[in-house]
Amino acid sequence: PQICAPGRSHFSTAVEPSSSKSNPPRVPNLIGGRFVDSKSSTVIDVINPATQEVVSQVPLSTDEEFKAAVSAAKKAYPLWRNTPITTRQRVMLKFQELIRRDMDKLALNVTTEQGKTLKDAQGDVFRGLEVVEHACGMATLQMGEYVSNVSHGIDTYSIREPLGVCAGICPFNFPAMIPLWMFPVAVTCGNTFVLKPSEKDPELALEAGLPEGVLNIVHGTHVCDHLDIVNSICDDDDIKAISFVGSNVAGMHIYSRAAAKGKRVQSNMGAKNHAIVLPDANVDATLNALVAAGFGAAGQRCMALSTVIFVGDAKSWKAKLVERAKALKVNAGTEPDTDLGPVISKQAKERIHKLVKSGVESGAKLLLDGRNIVVPGYESGNFIGPTILSDITTNMECYKEEIFGPVLLFMEADSLEEAISIINSNKYGNGASIFTTSGVAARKFQTEIEAGQVGINVPIPVPLPFFSFTGNKASFAGDLNFYDNVVCCSLVEPFDPILEKNTQRIALQTLYLKEDK
Ligand code: NAD
């Protein structure tokens, strides 16, 4: 297991109780084509959130190691950028084959270190695999433009060129998918890459035929006496562009610091995704979708639906939604039939508890309280059961903050206009969905809503890689957001194990499309 995410781990000097394998493996860096142990004596424990067992240790790399990784990427660049695009594509073709071969192993690693259910972990790997598949067609994607005779005897053409050394900084919640969002596209375009942090894929990438130095991995964190590796990435003159995914505090810091050094930055950040439920929606399919998108992956998805706005008579569905949420199975991700696993760390659990408490103190009604759940056999795990707060107002802390846990907030509105205006006033704009059978309402929502990913009867509208994954307002910063709105109105199937139980969804969507004509 080689997944590193300091946000969910703790330094080995921490006093929190945790049990340890006799010798948890130390995750090596990948520098210049070789896996090398860091010389650093300080490590971060990577803890299984269901058991508190230390499953591996991530080194806090030294400045020399970081510089060696950048220098290996810089050295590899001239040859790699001049390697034929068809050869670069073939490496990706091999890479996707290896990911498929090791899918189950990779998914198990994700579950052990991150806690999500095995099915969810397979989805995590599969979503990353789709990006690798996309990169296999890079020659077509890189086609330039040509206009002949723009002036007398002068033709003009534009060429897409690689930038040089690029870097990626990843969050904990999709340990396979997010690194795979970043480096496959970058390297197939001819760039070389430095990733912080990573998981086991790089080994496969080497086996697939990436030459030494094209992909490098250095582990570390921003809170570190030795080296603030995040700032080092922002400041290094040889790094030309940064892909970041994570929280707003980190994302805005990285965006401004790296932009000040003239780098391109693509910063995908936090979210507060809303769903509007109109009374004409299909009750069964909608409730199932809300439960899946609110509580799947224990709410630790940037596209999790965390707030439901019931319009008019739809508010009478609340009790049914609570019943469905109660029926979900909370257990370790490795146990069969688990619907949601633990949250990533004790600190995350405490933070979520605090936000729920502050909601209740400021007048919210606790319709379902999962805070005191005990999971037999996993008593020390960081579990929180599905939790629902009703009567939410926009000034409450639990509404303003991203909770990033299995907590669903209920609001009410008298009209679609009012519901849209609540969503548009929220600082985030990652995703938003509407549940309705009215084509007119769906179209109004699609046109007026301020969110990057828009779902119509789709709870988690995540676009496939041939569209861009975007985000509006505080959910995104950068200049590489190609589309302001990506609309997934019917056929995109978000991978969600809870949602899979629903058999009516496609029928509902067909109904919507027919009515729309
Ligand atoms: P995080 O911001 O804590 O960590 C992300 C990365 O940034 C890590 O590599 C970490 O080392 C570094 N980092 C953390 N704090 C930093 C700081 N103050 N200064 C500099 N670097 C710092 O995020 P996380 O908890 O790992 O992930 C959860 C967050 O990621 C949520 O907010 C979620 O919405 C967001 N997310 C967004 C998307 C998206 O596409 N918009 C996708 C997945 C996750």
pLDDT digits (tens, 9 = 90+) for 58-107: 899 999 999 999 999 999 999 999 999 999 999 999 999 999 999 999 99
Q: What is the pLDDT of residues 503-512, one digit of tens each?
A: 333 333 322 3
Cβ(490)–Cβ(515) under 8 Å? Answer: no
Pairing of β 145-151 and β 53-59: unpaired
The pTM for the full model equals: 0.90
What CA–CA distance (Å, rounded) separates 505 from 284? 9
Ligand 1 atom closest to Cα of 246?
Answer: 30
Cβ(389)–Cβ(362) under 8 Å? Answer: no
Catalytic-residue membership of 398: no
Q: Which residues line ligand 1 (CB under 6 A)?
A: 5-7, 169-174, 221-222, 230, 245-247, 249-250, 253, 268-271, 302, 402, 404, 430, 471, 475
What CA–CA distance (Å, rounded) separates 32 from 451? 40
What is the pLDDT averaged over residues 108-118?
89
The pLDDT value recorded for residue 501 is: 52
Q: Which of 366, 420, 431, 426 lies closest to 394 in space, CA to CA?
A: 426
Ligand 1 atom closest to Cα of 430?
Answer: 41
Cβ(254)–Cβ(169) under 8 Å? Answer: yes
ipTM at complex level: 0.98
Which residue, judged by its Cα, is nearest atom 35 of ligand 1?
Answer: 246
The pLDDT value recorded for residue 469 is: 85
Residue labelled with tokens 């892909």: 243
Where is 245: in which H helix or E strand? Answer: strand 239-245
Which residue, judged by its Cα, is nearest atom 18 of ligand 1?
Answer: 250
The pLDDT value recorded for residue 497 is: 63
Instruction: Please determine, for residue 1, whether its predicted confidence score (pLDDT) is greater than 50.
Output: no
What is the pLDDT averaged over residues 21-43?
89
Cβ(331)–Cβ(378) under 8 Å? Answer: yes
**Residue 227 binned pLDDT confidence (cut-offs 50, 70, 90):** confident
Distance 466 CA to ligand 1 centre (A): 24
Distance 4 CA to ligand 1 centre (A): 13
CA distances from 1 to 48, 200, 201, 347 (A): 11, 6, 10, 23
**Range in 102-116, 215-229, 371-385, 407-421 the model is least confident about:** 215-229
Instruction: Please determine, for residue 490, whether its predicted confidence score (pLDDT) is greater than 60.
Output: no
Instruction: Please determine, for residue 151, whether its predicted confidence score (pLDDT) is greater than 80.
Output: yes
Q: Which of 388, 396, 314, 378 lies closest to 342 in space, CA to CA?
A: 378
Q: Which of 430, 391, 387, 390 lies closest to 406 in space, CA to CA?
A: 387
Which residue, judged by its Cα, is nearest atom 38 of ligand 1?
Answer: 302
> Which is more confident, 24 or 9?
24
